Structure 1
Amino acid sequence: MHKGKKVLLAAVMATIFSGSAFADDQGSGKITFKGVIIDAPCSIAPDSVDKEIDLGQVTTDVINANKKSAPVPVDINLKNCQLDDPGDETADPVTKVDVTFTSAATDATDTNLMSNTYASGAQNVGVRLLDNAEANITLGSATEVALLEGSDTQTLHFKAQMEVLSGKTATAGQVESTANYVLAYK
């Protein structure tokens, strides 16, 4: 057998044996990728698109005595910010953003307090959003936040806390609320 035929035979044999190893399915899955293209001065960082904030564990004695838990930071991270339009020198740069929070489930007596939507969770408690100075946020109304000039990353600082419904006593259990936000640059 010629040397060239031996190499070819070895290559064919290697392909046959290795090909059968790839044919066995020893597990499979699916990955779905999602995204959105937006016309805005900044992109929302992936960690801020669908965010989960841990409000911690608070005893019923403490939350009923204080009527609220300690505020926890809630940051919305922006990236790839282009706050001025390099192609339009007459345009004013973007310096602020209005953030409007909404929730599909709010307390009937205080529509700025998000309801606990956790099935069979804690009773008589909700979640309140606060601005960075810990003032209550009005759901459905814009909260203006100043942007850092010339920075391609921005962090919008807010806070959240669990809060006992007015005149009620909180019971033990899970707490979960959902807020949506919309940004409007100016």
Structure 2
Amino acid sequence: MNVKKIAFITAMITGALMANANAADQGHGKVTFTGSIIDAPCSINPDSLDQTVDMGQVSNVALKADGNTGTSVPRNFEIKLENCDVTTLKSVQTTFTGAEGVTDGSLGITGTAKGASLILTNGDGAQIKLGEASDAHVLGSGNNTLLFSAYLQGDGASATVTPGDFSAIADFTLAYQ
């Protein structure tokens, strides 16, 4: 073989290797897995751990008190439990905690909106006061869904409802029986 052919073949092989080297990484990243192991008869679905309930754009007129305290439309949310083993513990109570609002047992809001608080309720519409356990939900084997709702309630006849954005954070704790 002559030197020109060897140089040409070497250049072709080098070019092919470089093309493969460049094509081998057409994007990369990292996947991080987190969680915890808990001592409980049920696992909590990851979608239930950190959720956002959109309360929508509520009219300040709906929250004004005309002899009664005004409220918004309730918005549902749920806590999903997975792989429940109800051999010994057959029910669960949920306790919500957070910054207290003006109304007894309510969740306070922060932001530019003022004059209202959030009321948390169980699936039957009964209020669950902050720091107090809900009625017990009976569990079945396998997957279970705990149903809740929240609504805005005006802080009373003497409160001025000020339009603006708000947020509120409630933590929940489960207690099995």
Question: What range is the shorter-chain TM-score in?
Answer: 0.7 to 0.9
TM-score, normalised on structure 2? Answer: 0.80
- Counterpart CA distance in 1 for 2:34 and 2:81 is 18
- Counterpart CA distance in 1 for 2:133 and 2:127 is 12
1:99 maps to which residue?
Answer: 94
1:67 maps to which residue?
Answer: 70
Q: CA deviation at 1:51?
A: 1.0
Q: Taking structure 1 as reference, are residues 27 and 13 closer, same or farther at Cα in structure 2, changes over 3 Å only?
A: closer
Question: Which residue among 124, 137, 151 is the counterpart of 2:115?
Answer: 124
Q: CA deviation at 1:12?
A: 6.5
Contact 2:78–2:147, Cα closer than 8 Å, also in 1: yes
Contact 1:145–1:156, Cα closer than 8 Å, also in 2: no
Q: Taking structure 1 as reference, are residues 123 and 35 closer, same or farther at Cα in structure 2, changes over 3 Å only?
A: same
1:115 maps to which residue?
Answer: 108
- Structure number with the higher strand fraction is 2
Moved more, 152-161 or 26-35: 26-35
**Is 1:40 the equivalent of 2:54?**
no
- The answer for unaligned runs of 5 or more in structure 2 is 2-9
Moved more, 171-180 or 139-148: 139-148
Question: Which residue among 10, 18, 23 is the counterpart of 1:16?
Answer: 18
Map Cα deviations across residues 95-119 of structure 1 (whole Å, 9 max, x no partner): 210111100x212x4351111122x
Q: CA deviation at 1:185?
A: 0.8
Contact 2:84–2:140, Cα closer than 8 Å, also in 1: no
Contact 2:64–2:156, Cα closer than 8 Å, also in 1: no
Q: Taking structure 1 as reference, are residues 29 and 172 closer, same or farther at Cα in structure 2, changes over 3 Å only?
A: farther
Q: What is the identity, as a one-letter code, of the residue corresponding to 1:99? A: T
Question: Which residue among 129, 148, 152 is the counterpart of 1:158?
Answer: 148
Let me know the Cα RMSD of the aligned residues.
Answer: 2.6
Q: Taking structure 1 as reference, are residues 38 and 172 closer, same or farther at Cα in structure 2, changes over 3 Å only?
A: same
2:129 maps to which residue?
Answer: 138
SS class of match (1:162): strand
Alignment of 1:161-180 (within 5 A): 161-167=151-157, 168-180=159-171
- Counterpart CA distance in 2 for 1:39 and 1:15 is 54
1:83 maps to which residue?
Answer: 86
- Counterpart CA distance in 1 for 2:95 and 2:13 is 65
Q: CA deviation at 1:68?
A: 1.0
- % of aligned pairs identical? 35
